[in-house]
Amino acid sequence: MNIQIGERSRLFPRAVYRHADLQRLLHPERIAIVGASPRAGAFSERTLHNLSAFAGTIDLINARYERIGERLSYPSLHALPARPDCVVVALPFDLVEQAVAECVEVGAGGVIVYASGYAETGVAERKEMQARLADLVSSSPTRLLGPNCYGYYNFLNGANVAFGRTVAARFDPLQRPNLGLVSQSGALGMALAQAMERGVAISHMLTAGNSADVGIADLVAYLSEDPNCDSIGCVFEGTETPRQILEAADIARGAGKPLVVYKAGRSNAGSAAALSHTGSVAGDYAIWKAACEARGAVMVDDFEAIVEVSLFLAKAGRPKARGAIAVVTSGGAGVIAADKGEAWRVPMPQPTGETLAILKENLPEFAACRNPCDVTAQVLNDDTPLRLSAGALLHDQQYGVAVVPHPFADAIGEQRVKMWKELGENHDKIICYVWCSEWLEGPGVRQIEASRNLALFRSMDRCFAAIAAWHRREEVSRGSDASDRIAVPSYARLEAERLLKVATTSALTERESKEILVTYGVPVVAERLTTRLEEAVEAAEQFGFPVVLKLESPDILHKTEYGAVRIGLNDTGTVSQAFWELDALASKIPNARRNGVLVQKMARRGLEIMVGGRVDPELGPVVVVSLGGTLVELFSDSVTRAAPLTHAQALKMLHDLRAAKALKGFRDLPAADTARLADVICRVGEFLLDHKDQVVEVDINPLICSGDELVAVDALVVRRYS
């Protein structure tokens, strides 16, 4: 069997490399540069320049020179007086393979290949060249970073092994927390690393290039186990080994280190081909996000949020309370804070009792002694009222975080930063400093970055998004109570498996799909498949009017798009007319096979919800909940979580819907039984988990919720192709 590059890693995934596997490569004591050159601008010359602060040994390799500058030049790696930890191959791609082979022969700890022109070209021959590089190191302790790799920056020991420009700021060993960065793109990685210039402490910036051997997940795992790294920010476009990303997330979680991920390339091209509504709603990115967040990672929607959120999580620790208090000197900033708090579902409870009394005692009568708390501009003259009021709010046990907008950067503002730093330290709570000023690095910024209790944000929206993510991460960290999961009997699993096996099509009919879901306890509408008018009338009379008639065909998945549904049929006459209309319609749809006409008891009017899920072969099953009906894909209001789910997690999914208020009753619709609805969500999750090797998608749309009645009136199960 000829296995192409990429297929190899998917079919035979290895465990991620750990800190010990990559120590010599990423924290070297001896570095060799193969292809060293005195030519200004050469990648090797730039690398040597970047290593000016490296305290270890540097060896230059080029048989054409005896010396390059003040340094000896060796003819080969074999000629070195000691084996190197890290080897930089700065050679054209046609000379790389021999150099990598020599690295393995001398027992180098690792090798970085700068050269491009490999698998990223899409050319089969170049892909094979990259595969040969991977094969060279696969059975050795020598690890390969690249090809097409920018290199890396270890700011701890000055091993800035890269050909690009470096930051001017120097690492401060006394400042914590330290942020470690991982990026597929060297340029984007360095863009993030320049946060050092404003006082952010960064321990590493590691890039992976084409990841022929060492990949993004390995670098995340390395930083997770490095004692000098406190939080990890990661940006990548894609990976051939998604399971390794999840494994690395588990390692970071086990080490107690925040992992913040920005995944570029989030378009839903993959879901465009999905057969169900669920497939369109739960796109590829939604699955990535659900799978990663189930392991304690935080997915951010903006590249600009990586550094902010990573540092916030490292500084904040675990939440002491869910509530956030906004303390403002501008009414307008308070309004923005309230808007964003509501948008991100961050609780902002009002001060009460002793706290409220202290506010009223110290603030002017025209101040807003509420949340947001507007202390007014009076504090410009005397900040004592602000200090006393803020202290009372931070002491209040219902608040776990304070949000402080900073509208103007100047010497007074810098003193205010010092005050908040002291308050945060005294009360051991995190304070989110939202820098509203367009003087982006004005007085106070470096002090905020250096403080353990102040977290800098450039956006009120990103601030509250981070707080919301903080609480979601805490929910994962606390773990779930396995006893809160639905217990599915073994006979149900076996019956569902049997029904999946006997199905003759990939996409099952509505009736076949519901027959399977019933085995897992999903409530479905009473129905009967008929092939003759007499049978349809008999079924309608048996169920009681009104009824619904639907054309059943394995080739018609979404019947409303073909006009293949008749609802509200109140007597035998309308049933007869609908039957013949559907029969005639079937003959007009090209190549549509006709199983018959499905007669259903018409459900009571209620709120329509969609419950479904997808199974990604690498990332696993996810459950999706949204408002239901034919317009589900237009509302963009869905929640996706990894399966399985506890009852509490399913309830949280419902709460996280933007339209959650509709579940409590809307206009003339009764409130939904959210406990029973959460039960169905859990059962769908268990079904997806049990049959993840057989099922691609599940779609219950709609599930009609009307008071204590809950019933699935349409469903679709899509099997995995053999």
Q: Alpha carbon of 235 to those of 147, 205, 470: distances in Å?
A: 18, 11, 19
The CATH 3.40.50.261 domain(s) of the chain lie at 166-207+214-316, 317-478
Please tell me whether the peptide bond between 372 and the residue prior to it is cis, using omega within 30 degrees of 0.
yes
* pLDDT at site 514: 96
Please give the backbone phi and psi of residue 259, each rounded to the nearest 5 degrees, phi first.
-120, 115
The CATH 3.30.1490.20 domain(s) of the chain lie at 526-602
* pLDDT at site 1: 31
Query: CATH second-level architecture of 607-719?
Result: 2-Layer Sandwich (3.30)
pTM for the model stands at 0.89
* pLDDT at site 60: 97
CATH 3.40.50.261, domain 166-207+214-316, yes or no? yes
Dist CA 452 CA 230 (whole Å):
12
The strand pair at 715-719 and 709-712 is best described as unpaired
Q: Tell me if 153 sits within 8 A of 51, measured CB to CB.
A: no
Q: Alpha carbon of 150 to those of 194, 208, 247, 487, 581: distances in Å?
A: 16, 8, 25, 50, 66
Per residue, the 3-state secondary structure of 273-329, as one string, reads HCCCHHHHHCCHHHHHHHHHHCCCCEECCCCCHHHHHHHHHHHHCCCCCCEEEEEEC
Q: Tell me: the pLDDT tens digits for 434-484?
A: 999 999 999 999 999 999 999 999 999 999 999 999 999 998 888 766 677
Q: Tell me: the pLDDT tens digits for 284-294?
A: 888 999 999 99
DSSP state of 178: P
CATH 3.30.1490.20, domain 526-602, yes or no? yes
By CB atoms closer than 10 A (0-12, 13-18, 19+), residue 36 is buried
Residues in contact with 219: Cβ distance below 8 Å, sequence separation at least 6, in sequence order: 22, 182, 206, 208
User: How many other CB atoms sit within 10 Å of the CB of residue 587?
Assistant: 9
The CATH 3.30.470.20 domain(s) of the chain lie at 607-719
CATH 3.40.50.720, domain 18-149, yes or no? yes
Q: Which tokens sit at 445? A: 């910024």
* pLDDT at site 651: 94
Residues lower than pLDDT 50 in the chain: 1-8, 10, 270-283
The CATH H-level (homologous superfamily) assignment of domain 317-478 is Succinyl-CoA synthetase domains (3.40.50.261)
Q: Which tokens sit at 382? A: 């005397």
